[in-house]
Amino acid sequence: MTKSLNCKLLIFLLLICLTATVATPTEVCAETPRWVRVVEDDVPLYTNANGNKVTFILQKSYYLTVSAEVNGYYRVELMSNSTLFPTIVGYVKISDVVESEEAPVTPYYPEKTIYVSADSATLKLSPLESAETVITATNTQSVSYYGSITSENKQWYYVYYCGRFGYAEADCFTAPNITMHPTPLPETPSVVPPDTGTTPPDETPADNTAEAILIVFVVVLAVGLVVAVFTPAKTSKRNKS
């Protein structure tokens, strides 16, 4: 009876382990530093590997450090981990970025300080007017800019201020004025149509009529010359006879 109970308990524990293994997303950690580049517009940085919440839109032409792969996403890091720009972690779809074969030149990602141009700027937990307030920055105060997102028909900045992250309406700040990364973006390869061996519909087949007439003319001329050469000889022979 005890052995039977122990076997049932062991089987139950194995089933729990198998279920947890299946339910947990598989992450493949990068052994050496890997880089990906944002080469398209409007590439989102997600808060998780489910793609159901966007943190902000990533800056085109800049780079992200890859720390792992999970369920078709890269787990990435950005910013320098300095006092004003702490590193943050997010996720991007693998199909949204391009791998970089070598480490990029700095800056990897733009570090821009912007200033409160309104009387104050209220930082919120999410880009919604109804969201909870995190902290309020007063006029002329500087904040660290990370990215922007559109919500409720407004543009919001995701910023860092006094040890707190939050969203604030873009109208409350000076513009970040971000330029493109110094490394040129890769050129989009031009698509060359395959050679089907047929004449394109907009091309007119070559007209060979003139060439045929010329050949006939040359043949007739040759025959005429032969006749002209041999006919007098036959006539002179008849006259002698």
Provide DSSP, 127-165.
Answer: SSTTSPEEEEEETT-EEEEEEEEEETTEEEEEEEETTEE
Shared fold status for 26-109 and 111-180: yes
The rounded percent of the chain whose pLDDT value lies above 70 is 65
Of all helices (H) and strands (E), which one includes residue 86? none
pTM of the entire structure? 0.68
Mean pLDDT of 99-114: 95
Instruction: Convert the pLDDT of each residue in 140-186 to its tens digit.
Output: 999 999 999 999 999 999 999 999 999 999 999 999 999 999 999 98
Question: Over 80: is that where the pLDDT of 114 sits?
Answer: yes
Q: What is the mean pLDDT of the chain?
A: 82
Give the pLDDT score at 24: 47
Q: Name the pLDDT band for 22 (thresholds 50, 70, 90).
A: very low
Q: What is the pLDDT of residue 33?
A: 78
Task: Classify 120 in phi/psi space as left (phi over 0), alpha (psi -120 to 50) or beta.
Answer: beta
What is the fold, at CATH topology level, of the domain defined by 111-180? SH3 type barrels. (2.30.30)
- Sketch the domain layout of the chain as residue ranges: 26-109, 111-180
The domain made up of 26-109 has a fold known as SH3 type barrels. (2.30.30)
Nearest by Cα to 82 from 160, 175, 174, 158: 160
**Range with the largest mean pLDDT of 7-11, 59-63, 208-212:** 59-63
Label residue 18 by pLDDT band (50, 70, 90).
very low
Name every residue whose Cβ is closer than 8 Å to that of residue 84 and which is 6 or more positions away in sequence.
111, 113, 144, 160
DSSP E strands in the chain: the ranges are: 27-37, 44-46, 54-57, 63-70, 73-78, 88-93, 98-100, 112-115, 120-124, 133-138, 142-151, 154-161, 164-169
